[in-house]
Homo-oligomer: A and B are copies of this chain.
Amino acid sequence: MLNYKAPQKDALFVMNELLGFEQHYQELGFDDASPDMVEAIFAEAAKFSENVLAPINASGDEEGCKWENTVVTTPTGFKEAYQTYVDGGWPSMTHPEEFGGQNLPYSLATVIAEWFSGANHSWAMYPGLSQGCMETLKAHGTPEQQKMFLHNLVSGKWTGTMCLTESHCGSDLGMLKCKAVPNDDGTYSLTGTKIFISAGEHDLSENIVHIVIARLPDAPSGTRGISLFVVPKFNVGPNGEKLERNAVSCGSIEHKMGIKASATCVINFDGAKGYLVGPENRGLNCMFTFMNTARIGTGLEGLSASEAAFQGALTYAKDRLQFRAMDGVKNPNGPADPIIVHPDVRRMLLTQKALAEGCRALAVYAMKLVDISHHSKDEAKRQQAEAKLAFLTPIVKAFLTETAQEATSYGMQVYGGHGFIKEWGMEQLARDTRICTMYEGTTGIQAIDLLARKVAGSNGELLKGFMQEVKEYCVSVRGKSQFNAWSNAIDTHLDEWAQLTGEIMKRAANKPEELGAASVDYLMYSGYVTVGYFWLKMAVTAQQKLDEGTTDVDFYQAKIHTAKFYFDRMLSRTRSLVAAMASGSDNLMSISEEQFKVG
């Protein structure tokens, strides 16, 4: 079984040494988030991940959730782990004190969300979904609604969901059919069926608070006729009293490839009592509040799987004896050398390591932007952070989850045939993380969001804003480190990035499908360059530490070695992506639907 270890040290490196979080928290007035406090919280979160969540990961997969007559039972130990989580005060970290929260920064709770997910993806989804529900109510709920729901959600006594998908509409929410009819008392009656509702029904909490999108009578068709509602499983009194059961029930749960311990529910609303959140027909806009952080959260799930797969593969590669090293015997007292001596095994391990650590740096940077956008008093800084966040969010979501497919696949591959066997835990990682490129908006949707909405939609301004930061960094280290070749590589990519963006936008002016044809390659290109920027930064930072005479030489040397691997072997993946983008849309569109045939 996989022995998960929370990557505390690497997280602290990224926060403190790479991204200046001490100053960052001070500037935003988070006096409680001192370095000592951060380390103390991390140590507790690591313990919880390693000792409470990881041990019920494989058994949770094996057992799965059970549905019987609308009631969902989670696997053995999930309920107890959730209670431990509530008792530890974890659900309330980022929420305001007025609702019982601890008013800690988003980033602090989100860095450790990686660990919860790395230890147990399925379990981590229950509290994860609650956060989106709370964010929505905090941003758009009336004071009365906040009073009804937020205290119990913040304490973790209740959990929440987001009910968007219906069977005929996943990405294209404009087609949704769920109805909300106003009652005389100001409430609404909701009728319809939602599918794919994670944590829609379970036995972890006393009540479940659903955020639901639905149509009012006579609402305009399409996405401009969608409103947002809060609909509890049990009705709720004005001060959060749990009342009688509402007309909300779980029709069934899905049988899935992975995250089997996460209940993916069909939820039926049969005239259920709900409350309008935000203005009528503006539900989709209200949803964007939590959409960005939900997408970063999904990116983190991908990252967490890359990290866990690296850990599992590394342990096995040091342990498993098979063949001798090509450059001479390394383990003369054993019957063979550990497979970590073999170059191709190292290629796989370094790919995982470069992805996990590079993506973590990008993710934590995005969290810093979220902190600033939520809390900075400096309007200009806030706008700048929001612009960068808007640009980076689809990259974080899609790049971290796409690369997790590779990292978890290598996790199995390093084990050879053993990787396919359940007891090692590697195949579960691959199955669990497979959903991440599909839910919360597929990679294709993220790619269109990036290229069409963010880049073309801002006429290139959002891209320019981020590129300027990277360019300035490249200039600042030029000639001042031994990493000139790498800073030049990033620099050259920036010019290319700008140029190919211009070319695609030009082609798309007459042919909008050019955006779709280039989009996923464009997103992956953006991801490799962005993560390359962070690898440059990590190498420079590590070299500074070495120059200053750190005693932890291995850690910082490993950073530089891994950066070298990234620049030698991963950044060059952009070569194939550029060729594909340059080829345009004709090679996709010219084959007719009839010519696409089976058999």
Contacts and interface: CB of A to CB of B under 8 A. Distances in A.
A329 B53 CA distance: 49
B434 A430 contact: yes
A256 B405 contact: no
A409 interface: yes
A243 to B, nearest CB: 33
Interface residues of A, number: 111
A442 B427 contact: no
Copies in the complex: 2
A315 B598 contact: yes
A581 to B, nearest CB: 9
A544 interface: no
Interface in A306-327: 310-311, 314-315, 317-318, 321-323, 325-327
A416 B438 contact: yes
Interface in A238-288: 254-258
Contact of A343 (B255, B317, B439, B513): B513
Interface string A326-357: 11000000011010101111110110010000
Nearest to A520: B344
Nearest to A419: B438
Contacts of A8: 599
A403 to B, nearest CB: 13
6 nearest CB pairs, A to B: A572-B579, A343-B516, A575-B575, A257-B427, A568-B583, A561-B591
Interface of A: 5-10, 165, 168-172, 175, 196, 254-258, 310-311, 314-315, 317-318, 321-323, 325-327, 335-336, 338, 340, 342-347, 349-350, 353, 405, 409, 412-413, 416-423, 427, 430-431, 434-435, 437-439, 442-444, 447-448, 511-513, 515-517, 519-520, 554-555, 557-558, 561-562, 564-565, 568-569, 572-576, 579-580, 583-599
9 contacts: A169-B322, A327-B589, A344-B448, A557-B591, A558-B591, A561-B590, A569-B579, A569-B580, A575-B579
